[in-house]
């Protein structure tokens, strides 16, 4: 018979099982592993880093089983908030001093305790709880600025020794009743105002867990605040995932609605201010009729979710319209969709904010930023555009295949192709429906590289820029390879003016001297991709010994 203990959702329920069943379990082959239920800290250097920052009111909870009580072992601590043991007594506080509340009754080593500390930022009141009962309180506890959060350590020392389980962090002051009622059961992860939940059901108890270095955050959110184990041996009965854990059994039974929003199947965090194409919050570049984006609202909670109004606000709200509304109510586990239409007006980035009003207690105004780029349709099709030397002048030629309401073309010139564009001339349009051929002579291009582009102007004032073309007027002694733009953002264009340079090697070094790219010049005009390189200074070296500096923006 094969019996695997990990098939149970929560092995901590063993405390509630009958003695006979426990005897049966003890007879199972010892090689059949059990899921870890707690984390054992060795008190030497074990700790867990949590990627959490928070401000204002909070509640921190945990189950602890300490084996060393002397000194100042820290349990859940940041840089300015501490929850710790003060020479055998449970304590908590803020910088400076940290021990604003302290339990007068000492802890007993080798005993499981549920502990909690709450802080009300408005009243500056801190309360300390042990096994669901308030044991200390203080007023006038100073506010704090928290940038880190760790388990089992403070300021590189004050290590905790013993077992730790069921860590919960809330962004609200929990009541004494809530703390008492929910300490002996597991959470669902959907509870309102819960910002991180670690149930420690990870790894294999007392086994080799060398690769299990993550403490999962099982709270329901887009990006979980998973902890990272530091310095644990992860083998044996100490400094490892262990069992049994705290005396926690069953679910707390709380029913609550929980809203989740996604675009293009990717989760969108409430408060997201950075639109991105991956989750459809950036719509892309469009002209004409625009585009629709469909967003999904899911209820991942255990109670009915009510969806109220959906509002579009922000500087360019008029460019975005809700064209289909979601269902008014969502049963647990169900989903609905709504559609947002972007209507391009003019040219440029358009920004707005979507706000979904709903019945989720801590995300009642679920909002996120959206944006799109408007590209008004300019009724000219540019078929080709070229630039070449003509004696000491530069000759530009271009051809259109269709024109409608075209006013003409402004000729722009720059020395680097990035900025400093000067308007050096204008060519009126023929407005031929089947297209025309145009040319322009620049009699004073100047020494070195001159970069040209066309700015086509519509009769209604809309504009469209062409691609760039470069002509090199360097002196003969300077001829080898020229390049633009500099600074570069994505693509650097190399122009070979000395054919002896063809099929020779080019190297690009970063500011530290490391080679980041190596390639051959195989064309008289060749592009080099800088899009994946970090911003900074680079040096490009040619086979003739020339070295030039390039700035990546």
87 and 200 inside one domain: yes
Number of independent structural domains in the chain: 4
Do 193 and 111 fall into the same domain?
yes
Query: With 50 as the cut, is the pLDDT of residue 270 above it?
Result: yes
Closest CA to 242 of 202, 275, 211, 272: 202
Q: Is residue 253 part of a domain?
A: no
Per-residue confidence (pLDDT) for residue 48, from 0 to 100 = 98
Is the pLDDT confidence value at 208 over 90?
Answer: yes
Cβ pair 190, 79 in contact under 8 A: no
Model's pTM, two decimal places? Answer: 0.63
- Listed in order, strand segments (DSSP E) in 359-484 are 365-375, 380-390, 393-403, 406-414, 422-428, 437-442, 449-458, 463-465, 469-472, 481-484
Residues 6+ apart with CB under 8 A from 23: none
Q: What is the pLDDT of residue 538?
A: 87
> Is residue 9 in a domain?
no
> What confidence tier does 446 reach under pLDDT thresholds 50, 70, 90?
confident
Looking at the fold, whether 229 and 303 belong to one and the same domain comes out as: no
Q: What pLDDT is recorded for position 487?
A: 87
Q: Once rounded to an integer, what is the mean pLDDT over residues 157-184?
A: 97
Q: DSSP string of 316-354? A: TGGGEEEEEPPPSEE-TT-EEEEEEEE---SEEEEEEEE
pLDDT at 214 over 80: yes
At 234, list the tokens. 């992860």
pLDDT at 383 over 80: yes
The answer to whether residue 27 is domain-embedded is no
Residues 215 and 207: their CA atoms lie apart, in Å, by 16
> Shortest CA distance to 48 belongs to which of 202, 221, 243, 208?
202
For residue 29, pLDDT over 50 is answered with no
Same domain, 75 and 223: yes
How far does the chain reach from its first CA to its final CA, in angstroms?
Answer: 65
In a shared domain, residues 347 and 398 = no
Q: Given this model, what pLDDT does residue 319 score? A: 96
Strands 291-299 and 335-342: antiparallel
**Who wins on pLDDT, 478 or 439?**
439
pLDDT per position as a tens digit, 529-550: 998 899 888 888 888 767 788 8
Per-residue model confidence (pLDDT) at position 423: 94
Which range has the top average pLDDT, 128-142, 408-422, 444-458?
Answer: 128-142
Enter the tokens of residue 307: 């969806």
Most confidently predicted of 327-336, 345-354, 516-525: 327-336
**What is the pLDDT confidence band of residue 473, given thresholds at 50, 70 and 90?**
confident
Return left, alpha or beta for 199; rule: phi > 0 is left, psi -120 to 50 is alpha, else beta.
alpha
Which residues 6+ apart lie within 8 Å of 268 measured at CB? 222, 261, 262, 279, 281, 295, 368
Q: Are residues 152 and 128 in the same domain?
A: yes
Q: What is the CATH number of the domain that holds 386?
A: 2.60.40.10
Confidence of residue 300 (pLDDT cuts 50, 70, 90): very high
Q: Please choose, from the candidates 238, 216, 249, 225, the residue with its C-alpha nearest in 3D space to the C-alpha of residue 39.
A: 238
At 10, the pLDDT band (50, 70, 90 cuts) reads very low
Break the chain down into helix, strand, coil percent, rounded to 5: 5, 45, 45
More confident call, 51 vs 497: 51
Instruction: Decide if pLDDT at 288 tops 80.
Output: no
Q: Do the beta carbons of residue 48 and residue 220 sit within 8 Å? A: no
Residue 28 confidence (pLDDT): 36
- Residue 149 confidence (pLDDT): 96
Considering the domain architecture, whether residues 389 and 415 belong to the same structural domain is answered as: yes
In a domain, 20, yes or no: no
**Per-residue H/E/C for 27-52:** CCCCCCCCECCEEEEECCCCEEEECC
284 falls within a domain:
yes
Q: Inform me whether the pLDDT recorded for 3 exceeds 80.
A: no
For residue 30, is pLDDT > 50? no
- 324 CB-side CA count, 13 A: 11
Residue 319 has a CB neighbour count (10 Å cut-off) of 23
In terms of C-beta density within 10 A (0-12 exposed, 13-18 middle, 19 or more buried), how is residue 347 classed? Answer: middle
User: Given 320, 352, 375, which residue is the final one in a domain?
Assistant: 375
The predicted model gives 389-415 an average pLDDT of: 91
User: Mean pLDDT over all residues of the chain?
Assistant: 88
Asked whether residue 352 falls in the same domain as residue 454, the answer is no
Give the length of the chain: 553
Is a pLDDT exceeding 70 seen at residue 246?
Answer: yes
Statement to judge: residues 121 and 232 lie in one domain: yes
Structure tokens at 318: 């008029």
Given 425, 450, 472, the domain boundary residue is: 472
Range name among 39-48, 212-221, 400-409 with the lowest pLDDT average? 400-409
**Residue 170: which domain range?**
38-242
Looking at the domain assignment, is residue 535 inside a domain? Answer: yes
In percent, how much of the chain has pLDDT > 90? 65
**For residue 76, which of 135, 116, 134, 36 has the smallest C-alpha distance?**
116
Residues 271, 204, single domain; the answer is no
H or E, element range at 85: strand 81-86
Q: What is the CATH number of the domain that holds 488?
A: 2.60.40.3080
β-bridge pairing 282-286 and 365-375: parallel
- What's the rounded Cα separation, in Å, for the pair 299 and 259? 5
Q: How many helices (H) and strands (E) does the chain have?
A: 2, 41
Same domain, 364 and 513: no
Rounded-to-integer distance, Cα 298 and Cα 416, Å: 50
- What is the pLDDT confidence band of residue 292, given thresholds at 50, 70 and 90? very high
Judged against a pLDDT cut of 50, whether residue 24 lies above it is answered with no
pLDDT at 5 over 70: no
Whether residue 359 has pLDDT greater than 80: yes
Domain-located, residue 190: yes
Among candidates 418, 450, 420, 371, which has minimal Cα distance to 530?
418
Q: Per-residue pLDDT for 225 more than 60?
A: yes
Q: Is the pLDDT of residue 9 over 50?
A: no
Whether 431 is in a domain gets the answer yes
Identify the CATH number of the domain in which residue 81 sits: 2.60.120.200
Q: Is 406 found in the same domain as 342?
A: no
Residue ending a domain, among 472, 497, 529, is 472
Cα radius of gyration (the chain): 33
What was the pLDDT predicted at 418? 66
List all residues 6 or more positions away from 520 whose beta carbon is below 8 Å from its beta carbon: 503, 504, 505, 506
């Amino acid at each position: 018979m094969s019996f695997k203990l990990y098939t149970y959702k929560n092995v901590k329920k063993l405390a509630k099982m009958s003695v006979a069943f426990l005897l049966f379990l003890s007879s199972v082959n010892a090689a059949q592993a059990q899921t870890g239920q707690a984390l054992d800290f060795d008190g030497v250097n074990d700790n867990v880093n949590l990627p959490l920052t928070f401000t204002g009111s909070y509640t921190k909870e945990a189950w602890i089983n300490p084996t060393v009580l002397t000194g100042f072992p820290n349990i859940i601590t940041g840089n300015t908030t501490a929850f710790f043991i003060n020479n055998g007594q449970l304590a908590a506080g803020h910088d400076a001093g940290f021990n604003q509340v302290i339990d007068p009754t000492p802890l007993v080593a080798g005993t499981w305790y549920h502990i909690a500390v709450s802080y009300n930022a408005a009243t500056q009141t801190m309360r300390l709880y042990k096994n669901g009962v308030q044991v200390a309180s203080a007023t006038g506890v100073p506010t704090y600025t928290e940038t880190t959060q760790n388990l089992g350590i403070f300021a590189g020392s004050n290590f905790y020794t013993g077992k730790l389980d069921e860590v919960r962090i809330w962004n609200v002051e929990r009541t004494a009743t809530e703390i008492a009622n929910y300490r002996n059961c597991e959470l669902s992860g959907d509870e309102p105002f819960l910002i991180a939940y670690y149930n420690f059901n990870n790894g294999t108890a007392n086994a080799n867990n060398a690769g299990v270095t993550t403490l999962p955050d099982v709270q329901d959110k887009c990006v979980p605040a998973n902890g990272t184990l530091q310095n644990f041996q992860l083998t044996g009965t100490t400094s490892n995932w262990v069992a049994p854990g705290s005396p926690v059994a069953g679910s707390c039974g709380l029913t609550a609605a929980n809203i989740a929003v996604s675009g293009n199947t990717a989760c969108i965090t409430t408060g997201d201010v950075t639109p991105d194409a991956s989750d459809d919050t950036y719509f892309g570049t469009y002209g004409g009729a625009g585009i629709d984006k469909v967003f999904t609202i899911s209820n991942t909670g255990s109670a009915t979710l009510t969806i109220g109004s959906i509002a579009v606000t922000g500087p360019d709200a008029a460019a975005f319209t809700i064209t289909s509304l979601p269902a008014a109510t969502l049963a647990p586990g169900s989903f609905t969709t709504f559609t947002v239409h972007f209507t391009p007006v003019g040219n440029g980035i358009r920004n707005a904010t979507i706000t979904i009003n709903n019945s989720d207690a801590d995300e009642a105004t679920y909002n996120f930023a959206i944006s799109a780029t408007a590209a008004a349709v300019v009724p000219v099709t540019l078929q080709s555009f070229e630039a070449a030397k003509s004696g000491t002048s530069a000759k530009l030629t271009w051809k259109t295949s269709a024109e409608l309401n075209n006013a003409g073309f402004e000729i722009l010139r720059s020395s680097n192709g990035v900025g400093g564009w000067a308007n050096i001339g204008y060519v009126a349009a023929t407005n031929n429906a089947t297209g025309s051929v145009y040319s322009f002579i620049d009699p004073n291009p100047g020494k070195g590289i001159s970069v040209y582009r066309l700015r086509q102007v519509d009769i209604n004032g809309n504009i469209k820029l062409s691609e760039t073309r470069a002509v090199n007027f360097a002196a003969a002694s300077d001829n080898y390879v020229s390049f633009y733009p500099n600074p570069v953002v994505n693509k650097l264009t190399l122009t070979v003016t000395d054919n002896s340079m063809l099929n020779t090697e080019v190297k690009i070094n970063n500011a530290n001297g490391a080679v980041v790219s190596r390639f051959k010049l195989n064309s008289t005009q060749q592009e080099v991709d800088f899009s994946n390189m970090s911003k900074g200074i680079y040096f490009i070296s040619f086979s003739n010994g020339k070295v030039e500096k390039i700035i990546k923006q």
